[in-house]
Structure 1
Amino acid sequence: MIPRRAHKTILDLAQGFPFVAITGPRQSGKTTLSRAAFPDKPYASLEDPDLREFADNDPRGFLAGYPDGAIFDEVQRCPQLFSYLQTRADLDGRQGLYILTGSQQFGLFSNITQSLAGRVGMVQLLPFSSTELNQAGIPPISLDELLFTGLYPPIYDRPVSPAQWYSGYIHTYLERDVRQMINVRDLSAFQRFLRLCAARTGQLLNLSSLANDCSITHNTAKAWISILEASYIVHLLLPHHSNFNKRLIKSPKLYFHDTGLAAWLVGIHEKSHLSFHPLRGALFETWVVGELLKGRFNRGLPSNLYFWRDSTGNEVDVLFDQGLTLEPLEIKAGQTVTSDYFTGLKKWIGLAGQSAGRPFLVYGGDKLQTRQEVDVIPWSKISSITER
C-alpha cells in the first residue's frame, strides 16, 4: 500500500469527532485508507444489497451489531441511517466511533448537514498526489507519462494499462453512479457530454456552448455538471471576488480532477500522442490545480484556490487566498521560461497592490530559479508549494 498524506489527518480528526467522513471519487483509495488507519474496526459496505436492506429496515438492529463503532462504506446509500447514528454516538460519547466513506459528495454532505452537523471531521480524498508517488519510490519517468497515466490508485497496484482501466471506469460510472443520482435516459448523450467537458478542461465553463454541442437544454447541462462535481469527476474553480478590475470574468473554470481520465476521454490513448497534442497545456494546468487541491484536502482543509481574469484577457491561473494576502500563481507547460510568462502576474500585482503576496510560476521544465522576483518552480518540485 502506498502511504497516503491524509492518513495522519483522519487519525487526528478521530481524536476530536465521533464521526470521520472520507469522501472522494470512486477508486481513489477511501476504503483502503480507512481500513489501514482503523484496522481494529469492523467494516461494512452498504453497497452490499443484504446489508443495505438490513440497515434500511432495522437501523437499530443493524447498529447494535457494531457496539464499538465501525467503518461504513458508501454510507450515502442508506440516508435514513444517519439519524440513528447521531443518537447512538451522542449517547456513547466516544470520539472516532464511526468512519463514514462515500463517493457521492452531495448525498453524503446533505445527510451530514441534516443529522450530524458539528459531529463530523471531513477529509476529501482524491487520487494519488505526485508527492505520494515520489515518497513511495515510484516517481513518474516524465511529465507526459504523468499526464497520460493519471493518478488513480488501481493503475499503480495491478497490471492494467491506463486505457483499459479508464474504459472500465467510465462504463461503471455511467451504468451505476449516474443512474443512482439522476434519471439519465440517454447514457450515450451523457457520455458525449463528459467527453466535451474533458475537451474543455482548463477553460471557462460555458454551459450554453456545452448544451448546444451536446444537443441538450441549458438546464440539463447545468444539472449534469452538478453530477460531475458531486462524484468528483470535475472541479469548478471560482473567480476571486475582490474587485481589482471592474471588467472581471465571473464564470468559473472547469477542471477534471485527474488528467489521465481527461486524456482518455479526448482520445489520447498513447503517451506519445501527448507530446504535441493541442490539449497538453490545458492538461498540465489541470494537473497543477489538482495537486494544489490535494495539498489542501489531504490536511482536512477546504480549497482556498481562485483565479483572476478580466474581459481583455489578462489572467492569473491561481490565487491562493491566505486571508490578509493573495498569492498569485501562473502555470505554463513549456520547458523554457520566457518573459511573456510573467505578463499576467505583473498586471495583477500592479492592480492588487498591498494585497499581493509571494508570486509563483510552475512550468514544464526542470530548473528551480527566480525570475523578475517570481519563484519559478519546475513541475517535479511542485511539493514545495503544495506541502507548505
Structure 2
Amino acid sequence: MIQRNISEKVKESLKSQAAVALIGPRQVGKTTLAIDIGNEVDALYLDLEDSNDRNRLANPALFLEKFEDRLVILDEIHRMPDLFETLRGVIDKGRRKHKGKGRFLILGSVSIDLLRQSGESLAGRISYIDMFPIVVSEIEDTRFAREKLWLRGGFPDSYLAEDDKQSLNLRRNFIRTYLERDVPMFGPRIPSTTIERLWTMIAHRQGTILNASQLAKSLEISTQSVTRYIDLLCDLLLVSRLQPYHANIGKRLVKSPKVFVRDSGILHGLLNIETHEELAGHPVVGSSWEGFVIENLVSALPWRSIPFFYRTAAGAEIDLIIEHADQSLWAIEIKRSLSAKVGKGFYIACEDLKPERAFVVHAGDDRFPITEKIEAINITALVEELSKKK
C-alpha cells in the first residue's frame, strides 16, 4: 500500500468546504483513497457506475436527506451530471443546520474544466483537487524505484504488479477499457479505432510540437476532428498539452503546444514496450523520460504556478518553464543521461528569459553546480524544491 501525498489535502479541504471533488483518470487510486478517508468517519459510499446505487438516487434530495450527518462519497459523478443541481439545495439546507462542511466527497474521471461545466451550480461550495498517478515523492528515493516508476507508470496496479509482463498486460487492458467504455460515453459517434490510432500516433510523437494537419492527413480525417479528438483525450486526463511561453523579447517564438501522453506507463503500453531493455533501444526513450519528468514536476507545482516550454525559431529552447505566482521563472532542462550536459540552446534561452533559478534534471542521484546559475539535480530533489516554493 502506497501512502498518497494528497490524502491530507483532501481531509483539510473537507474541513472547510461542503463538497470536495477529487479528479483523476480511472484506476488512479481515487476510490481507494476516498474509502480510506470514509472509513475514518463512517461515510456512505455510492458507486454511480453501479445501477443499484444509481437507483437509490432516483429521488436524490429525499435519499440524501437521510444521511445529512454523514459524509457521502459519490464515485464517478460524471455518470449523473444532473446530480450537481440537487447537491446545491442539499448543501444550502445543511449549511443552516450543520454548517455544511464535509458533506460530499465527489470522485470523477474527467478533467476539472469538464466537471466544472456540470458543477457550476456549486460555485463557492466545492473545492477541486487533481489526483495524479503515483509520483516520485510517494516512492522510495532510489534510482531503481524511479526507473521502475518510469517504465510502468504511476497507476497503482501497474506499478505494484509482480513483473513487467503483468504490468504491461494491465496497462493494455486499461487502454482497451477507455476505448470501449469512456470514449463512446464522452465522444459519441467517434470511432474508437480512430481514437486508438491517434493516441498511438501521439505516443510515437511524444513531446513534439502539435501538427494537427499532419495527423489529420495520416488519419484521413479533418484537422478540426483531430483537434476535437485531442480535446477529448485531454478531458479524459490521458493526454496533456504544454503551452509555449510567450515573452516580449523581439524574437520569433514557437506558438503551437507540445503534446504528451501523460502517464509514461500508458505511453509504453501504447507502444508495446515491456522491459527497460526494450525502452532503452526505442526511439521514444528520450521523449518518454522528458514527459515522465514534466508530469511529476507539474504534479508538485505550488498553487498558481503555471508550466510552459520555450522555443525560438532560431533554436533556443527550455524544456520546462515554470512561472510562479510572484512572476518569477524557473528554467528546467531535462536529460536522460547521468552527465547533465547542457546544450547551447539552453544557455541562449536563459539569457533571453533570465530565470530566477535554472536546473538540469538528470537520471542519476547527484546534485552539483554546472555553472554559477545552473544546477544539476535529480527529479525527486527538484520536486522537493518545488514544495518549498510559496
Q: CA deviation at 1:349?
A: 2.4
Give the corresponding residue for 2:283. 278
- Normalised by the length of structure 2, the TM-score is 0.91
State whether residues 166 and 264 of structure 1, in contact with CA within 8 Å, keep that contact through their aligned partners in structure 2. Answer: yes
Q: CA deviation at 1:335?
A: 1.9
How far apart, CA to CA, are the structure 2 residues paired with 1:363 and 1:157? 25
1:359 partner SS:
strand
How far apart, CA to CA, are the structure 1 residues paired with 2:257 and 2:305? 14
Q: CA deviation at 1:84?
A: 1.1
Once the two structures are superposed, the pairs formed by residues 369-388 of structure 1 within 5 Å of their partners are 369-373=368-372, 374-379=374-379, 381-388=381-388
State whether residues 159 and 167 of structure 2, in contact with CA within 8 Å, keep that contact through their aligned partners in structure 1. Answer: no
Unaligned runs of 5+ in 2: none
Once the two structures are superposed, the pairs formed by residues 1-388 of structure 1 within 5 Å of their partners are 1-39=1-39, 40-55=42-57, 57-68=58-69, 69-93=71-95, 94-105=100-111, 106-112=113-119, 114-134=120-140, 141=144, 144-159=147-162, 161-296=166-301, 301=303, 304-322=306-324, 323-338=326-341, 341-353=342-354, 356-373=355-372, 374-379=374-379, 381-388=381-388
State whether residues 315 and 345 of structure 2, in contact with CA within 8 Å, keep that contact through their aligned partners in structure 1. Answer: no
Q: CA deviation at 1:268?
A: 1.4
Q: CA deviation at 1:66?
A: 2.5
Deviates more, 1:15-24 or 1:34-43: 34-43
Residues 204-262 of structure 1, C-alpha deviations (whole Å, 9 max, x = no match): 11111111122221111111101111111011111123323431111111122211110
How far apart, CA to CA, are the structure 2 residues paired with 1:33 and 1:46? 17
Tell me the percent identity.
Answer: 29
Residues 100-154 of structure 1, C-alpha deviations (whole Å, 9 max, x = no match): 0100124422112x2111211111001100110127xxx5626543322111111
State whether residues 140 and 146 of structure 1, in contact with CA within 8 Å, keep that contact through their aligned partners in structure 2. Answer: no
State whether residues 368 and 376 of structure 1, in contact with CA within 8 Å, keep that contact through their aligned partners in structure 2. Answer: yes
State whether residues 153 and 159 of structure 2, in contact with CA within 8 Å, keep that contact through their aligned partners in structure 1. Answer: no
State whether residues 43 and 70 of structure 1, in contact with CA within 8 Å, keep that contact through their aligned partners in structure 2. Answer: yes
CA RMSD of aligned residues (A): 1.9
Unaligned runs of 5+ in 1: none
How far apart, CA to CA, are the structure 2 residues paired with 1:200 and 1:121? 35
2:200 partner SS:
helix
State whether residues 189 and 214 of structure 1, in contact with CA within 8 Å, keep that contact through their aligned partners in structure 2. Answer: yes
- Normalised by the length of structure 1, the TM-score is 0.91
Change (3 A) 1:73 1:303: farther
State whether residues 207 and 259 of structure 2, in contact with CA within 8 Å, keep that contact through their aligned partners in structure 1. Answer: yes
Q: CA deviation at 1:33?
A: 1.1
Change (3 A) 1:302 1:59: farther
How far apart, CA to CA, are the structure 2 residues paired with 1:371 and 1:157? 36
Q: CA deviation at 1:50?
A: 2.6
Higher relative contact order (CA 8 A, sep 6+): 1
- Paired positions, count: 376
